Amino acid sequence: MEIENYPVQWNDVDPALLKAEARRVFDLQQADRIRQIHFRQDTKSAVIEWECDTEEEVRNLLDTFPLVQAGLIHFEIIPLIPYSGFNRLFR
């Protein structure tokens, strides 16, 4: 989940930086690294579902985001595994 490093006035951020961020996200989605991206309705945060083998790979890719490099945002990484409850119920 995306987190601002401090309150950011997004209207004051260089539009070229925002465009570069959007391009990087698009490129990673086209490369099958980003599965889905959503904005949270209750905050100004993005949630990205990654298609990666390790948390380290996700961290390395996040470090390529222009807004991360500019020090404006960082991400909380929440590792997920597939839901296995149906296997227990329907054996």
Residue-averaged pLDDT of the chain: 92
Cα–Cα distance, 5 to 23 (Å, whole number):
21
Determine the structural domain holding residue 44 and report its residue range. Answer: 2-82
Q: What is the pLDDT of residues 56-72, one digit of tens each?
A: 999 999 999 999 999 99
What is the tally of structural domains in the chain? Answer: 1
pLDDT for residue 2:
78
Q: Tell me, what CATH number does 73's domain have? A: 3.30.70.1060
Say if CB 62 and CB 75 are below 8 A apart: yes
**Phi, psi (rounded to 5 degrees) for 73:** -140, 160
Residue 26 falls within a domain, yes or no? yes
DSSP, collapsed to helix, strand or coil, labels residue 39 as: strand
Cα–Cα distance, 8 to 13 (Å, whole number):
8
Residue 71 falls within a domain, yes or no? yes
Residue 88 falls within a domain, yes or no? no
| Residue 84: both structure tokens together | 């296995």
pLDDT for residue 90:
87
